[in-house]
Amino acid sequence: MCGIVGYVGQKTAKPILLDGLSRLEYRGYDSAGFALNSGGKFTVQRNAGPVQELIDASTHMGLSEKIGIAHTRWATHGVPNELNAHPHRAGQIVLVHNGIIENYSQIKTRLISAGVEFHSQTDTEVFAQLIEYHRKRSEGTPEEALIHAIETAMAEVEGHYAILLLSLDVPGKIFGVQFGAPLVASQLKDGCVIASDIQAIIPYSNQVSFLPKGEILVAAEGKFEVRDPKTKKFHSVKTETIDWSADKVEKNGYESFMLKEIFQQPMVVADTLSGRLPTTEESNFIWDNLEAHRELWKNVQHVYLIACGTSYHAAMTAEYFFEKWAKLECRVDIASEFRYRNPVFQPNTVVGVISQSGETADTLAALHLAKEAGLPTFSICNVPNSTIARESGLQYPTKAGPEIGVASTKAFTAQLTVLSALALDVAHLRGHPQLTSFRDLARLPFDLDKVLSQSETYLKIGETLKDKRIILFVGRGTMYPIALEGALKFKELTYLPAEGFAAGELKHGPIAYIDPQVSIITLAPKDEWYAKTISNMEEIRARGGHIITLGTDGDTEIKKVSHEFISLPESAWGTQPILAAIPLQLLAYGCAKALGRNIDKPRNLAKSVTVE
């Protein structure tokens, strides 16, 4: 969702801000803008629509200014138009904001009765006006008055947010604060860059500082510091090295980020497993923090896995792994449901949260709920040092590298890889070693290569789906969550109706709408439910449904009941879900491309869902 960039230093700020916004486009947005301090006045440009329109509209502006803030907005309060785009001006200040101010309406009413005029429908302008209102009434130097005003406003607003602001009174500095939505800063040789995520910083430096919650940032050309609200003292923030490089966020010759990320999957799985697989029956998977890992799982009797969207499908798949291999009760939940229910926890429960971005608002709230209940927690995140990763008890990072395509692909297979290694390892700790399954994981990158060698076939079949009335994805066992994932990918990329169903549930509803205009993607590798899935396929065929099957290489029986057949390499039960995910990603891709959709940035979607 919204993205923030700020720069203060010796260089011209505008190109850095616009480059940063382009790098944050993947988060999802519908308008963009920037503000520069032009010495005694602000230069502000805002546009509804793509960052490119902002770039085109501002070619003659900001040619010398060395300080500025910029923003991409994903509309929450107020339609996506120029007036609601950030930055928002209030008197002497201009402000950009990520997150939500929940009590904005009460504050707005209060400010209006105090004579403040509003120009937009946004909660952001309320925050800006509130700071300006207090600034005018605060004492001390302009900087002290501004910091006091920000602190006073923070005490009044409810919600979670990250803001950056400029003040005409304090011309060479950027102020900001994060309160539940991340801000990252980096000190460069010639200045300081601040952003809502590391993608906008990585071209300049891999040395970054994650700003602490609730401490006010003051950034100038030579240094940035934060102010501890209790001691009122400024201090520096620990610098961390990020293992991502700028070329990892380029398309490298692929037509889209998503296609590149699909093809990276063999390497991502290999990286995730590299140097960590056990070699003998006696040894375990080698996690980075082995002692803490053993301690965490020592007495566990129940595991809860919480996530949203694609990450939730990874969690659902892992439920089968934990139960079958580790003989451990596993419950899985959607974060937005879990956080508002009243979950009852058994003793010896561990809660795991799964999130590519590590910033999903509902998943973060679920993590907080588990921590408040006093439960040990762990996370599986892809973005290093993301909020969820930092706030969870133990981290099992996926090593997928930056995922830019909004539709998650390589992060999903990396999550499945980590989850299967974790379930196997826990099985071992609980006295149920599954060494052969570890060996199956080891050959996974080769099998993924085999699957990808047929990519043209999947893309072509995908194209043929564009005229269907609805696409139904079905499977049993671990193929059920993969069917859900196939349907999700299809919907988000093509905007066409698609559903995922457990094959055994067909007779309880969806069979009613089967006809030749419906395509049914059946996931039927040779597993223990194979025969049952075939009889479900017969039922569909009898009603005229068009069946495309994903089955095991050389399976002639299943071909007889299918109109089209996609073969998967023969593989073990535990690795089938990872292999089956790839053709489904490519089917959706092929169809979306034929329909001319925006593959990397499907409409209305955001990569990082930082509001609930």
Q: Report the residue number, 462 or 545, with the smaller CB distance to ligand F6R.
A: 462
Give residue 144's Cα distance to chain centre: 37
Among 310, 434, 494, 536, binds ligand F6R (CB under 6 A): 310
Q: How far is the CB of 360 from ligand F6R (least distance, A)?
A: 3
- The DSSP call for residue 560 is H
Burial of 223: CB neighbours in 10 Å, binned 0-12, 13-18, 19+: exposed
Distance separating alpha carbons of residues 109 and 489, to the nearest angstrom: 43
Burial of 84: CB neighbours in 10 Å, binned 0-12, 13-18, 19+: buried
Cβ atoms within 10 Å of 239's Cβ, excluding its own: 13
Interacting stretch for ligand F6R, rule CB under 6 A, among 89-97, 193-201, 296-304, 308-316?
308-316
Q: Report the residue number, 567 or 608, with the smaller CB distance to ligand F6R.
A: 608
Interacting stretch for ligand F6R, rule CB under 6 A, among 189-197, 350-358, 525-533, 543-551?
350-358
- In Å, what is the CA distance from 301 to each residue of 68, 192, 305, 427, 454? 53, 48, 14, 12, 42
Q: How far is the CB of 423 from ligand F6R (least distance, A)?
A: 19
Q: Report the residue number, 217 or 307, with the smaller CB distance to ligand F6R.
A: 307
309 lies in the binding site for ligand F6R (CB under 6 A) = yes
Binding mask 474-513 for ligand F6R (x = CB under 6 A): --------------x---x---------------------
Q: Which two tokens stand for residue 237?
A: 């923030």
Short-list 512, 510, 514, CA closest to 499:
510
Q: Which residue has the tokens 């133990």?
A: 394
Bond from prior residue into 87 cis (ω within 30 degrees of 0): yes
14 carries an active-site annotation: no
Count of residues of this chain found to bind ligand F6R when the rule CB under 6 A is applied: 14
Torsion angles phi and psi, residue 310, rounded to 5: -60, -40
Short-list 228, 221, 143, 162, CA closest to 188:
221
Catalytic hit among 2, 192, 308, 381: 2
Q: Report the residue number, 499 or 555, with the smaller CB distance to ligand F6R.
A: 499
The angle, 0 to 180 degrees and rounded to 10, between the axes of the packed helices 410-429 and 576-594 is: 170
Q: How far is the CB of 307 from ligand F6R (least distance, A)?
A: 6
Distance separating alpha carbons of residues 424 and 320, to the nearest angstrom: 11
198 lies in the binding site for ligand F6R (CB under 6 A) = no
Catalytic hit among 14, 108, 324, 607: 607
List residues bridging with 94 in a β-sheet: 89, 166
- The DSSP call for residue 317 is H
Q: How far is the CB of 390 from ligand F6R (least distance, A)?
A: 15
Interacting stretch for ligand F6R, rule CB under 6 A, among 31-39, 309-317, 461-469, 567-575?
309-317
- In Å, what is the CA distance from 449 to each residue of 21, 462, 561? 34, 20, 27
Interacting stretch for ligand F6R, rule CB under 6 A, among 2-10, 130-138, 187-195, 303-311?
303-311
Among 24, 54, 308, 426, binds ligand F6R (CB under 6 A): 308
Q: Residues with Cβ < 8 Å from 50, sequence gap 6 or more?
A: 25, 32
Q: How far is the CB of 389 from ligand F6R (least distance, A)?
A: 11
Among 47, 186, 363, 413, binds ligand F6R (CB under 6 A): 363
Q: Report the residue number, 519 or 608, with the smaller CB distance to ligand F6R.
A: 608
Interacting stretch for ligand F6R, rule CB under 6 A, among 149-157, 173-181, 305-313, 457-465?
305-313
Residue 581 DSSP SS3 = helix
Determine how β-strand 518-524 pairs with β-strand 470-475: parallel
Cβ atoms within 10 Å of 560's Cβ, excluding its own: 12
Q: How far is the CB of 407 from ligand F6R (least distance, A)?
A: 4
Q: Which residues, numbered 204-243, are part of the site for ligand F6R (CB under 6 A)?
A: none
Among 355, 413, 494, 536, binds ligand F6R (CB under 6 A): 355
Q: Which two tokens stand for residue 241?
A: 């090295």
357 lies in the binding site for ligand F6R (CB under 6 A) = yes
Short-list 404, 380, 391, CA closest to 307:
380
Q: Report the residue number, 187 or 585, with the smaller CB distance to ligand F6R.
A: 585
Among 31, 98, 186, 356, binds ligand F6R (CB under 6 A): 356
Among 360, 420, 478, 536, binds ligand F6R (CB under 6 A): 360
Q: Report the residue number, 357 or 437, with the smaller CB distance to ligand F6R.
A: 357
Q: How far is the CB of 340 from ligand F6R (least distance, A)?
A: 17
Q: Are 500 and 484 in contact (CB under 8 A)?
A: yes
Max CA-CA distance within the chain? 82
Q: Which residues, numbered 400-429, are part of the site for ligand F6R (CB under 6 A)?
A: 407-408
560 carries an active-site annotation: no
Q: Which residue is nearest to ligand F6R (CB)?
A: 309
Binding mask 67-106 for ligand F6R (x = CB under 6 A): ----------------------------------------
Q: Which two tokens stand for residue 300?
A: 């566990």
- The DSSP call for residue 79 is -
Q: Report the residue number, 209 or 311, with the smaller CB distance to ligand F6R.
A: 311
For the chain, give percent helix, strand, coil, nearest 5.
40, 25, 35
Q: Report the residue number, 176 or 577, with the smaller CB distance to ligand F6R.
A: 577
Q: Are 397 and 381 in contact (CB under 8 A)?
A: yes
Rounded-to-10 torsion of CA 84, 90, 92, 95: -50
Q: How far is the CB of 409 from ligand F6R (least distance, A)?
A: 8
Interacting stretch for ligand F6R, rule CB under 6 A, among 233-241, 306-314, 512-520, 555-563?
306-314
Which residues of the shown chain bind ligand F6R in the complex (CB under 6 A)?
Answer: 308-311, 355-357, 360, 363, 407-408, 488, 492, 609
Which residues are part of the catalytic machinery?
Answer: 2, 607
